[in-house]
Structure 1
Amino acid sequence: MSCGDPHETDCSEVLDHLYEFLDREMPAGEADKFKEHFDECSPCLEKYGLEQAVKKLVKRCCGHDDVPTDLRSKVMGRIELIRSGEAVPEQTVMEQAVADQQAARQAQDADVSARATRTAESA
């Protein structure tokens, strides 16, 4: 997306790094360039406002759910794969996290079952 007007920071760069700006995960100098861009570019400012509203809504509606402890590292790993252009697994991060939890439960259930069998055999 581009508004068609020349800017010091290109619209595509701003939109590519919008969540870094929203999450305050970029250096101050870069953030200042983005703020300046939003002052000049109403389409990007509108997109920023929309994404900010979505982020607040998600936080309000989903902020109380327990998140698997390693989910952040998995999400960041997936982001790095995408940025580097490497092949990305077909499962989403959430699908993989759910599958990992199910596998862990199955392993735990199998362990409990094996112990129960050993106990019954020794009795």
Structure 2
Amino acid sequence: MSCGNPHETPCSEVLDRVYWYLDGEVSEEDCDHIRQHLDECGPCLREYGLEEAVKRVVAKHCGCDPAPSELRDKILVRIRQVQAEIEVFE
């Protein structure tokens, strides 16, 4: 996804890191770049808002039960596969 406007941090890079950003797993420098990008880019901000809402709903309904590490790994692999497929079609 790209809004078509030039940014210091490209849309694709921001969207690739949105989960890590939501989880606080990016460096302070990356966090600043992502935050700046979201302030400038409506499409990415909407995508971020959607991901944030999904994360809240999952947390609310799944409580404190952590996912098994094997399941988490499989999900992350699949997410990366889908992201790669999307990039091919863009």
Cα deviation, residue 21, structure 1:
0.3
The aligned counterpart of 1:42 is 42
The aligned counterpart of 1:6 is 6
Residue-by-residue CA offset, 1:67-112 (whole Å, 9 max, x unaligned): 46xx23x3247747x86x8xxxxxxxxxxxxxxxxxxxxxxxxxxx
Cα deviation, residue 51, structure 1:
0.5
Alignment CA distance shift 1:77-1:44 (3 Å): same
Structure 2: which amino acid aligns with 1:42?
G
Identity of aligned residues (%): 49
TM-score, normalised to structure 1's length?
A: 0.56
RMSD: 2.3
Task: Report 1 or 2 for greater relative contact order, CA contacts < 8 Å, sequence distance ≥ 6.
Answer: 2
The aligned counterpart of 2:86 is none
- The 5-angstrom pairing of residues 48-63 of structure 1 reads 48-63=48-63
In structure 2, distance between residues paired with 1:6 and 1:67: 39
When Rg is computed on C-alpha atoms for both structures, the one with the higher figure is 1
Runs of 4+ with >4 A deviation: none
Q: Which runs of 5+ in 2 are unaligned?
A: 82-90
The aligned counterpart of 2:16 is 16
Report SS of the residue matched to 1:17.
Answer: helix
Q: Which runs of 5+ in 1 are unaligned?
A: 86-123
Structure 1: which amino acid aligns with 2:42?
S
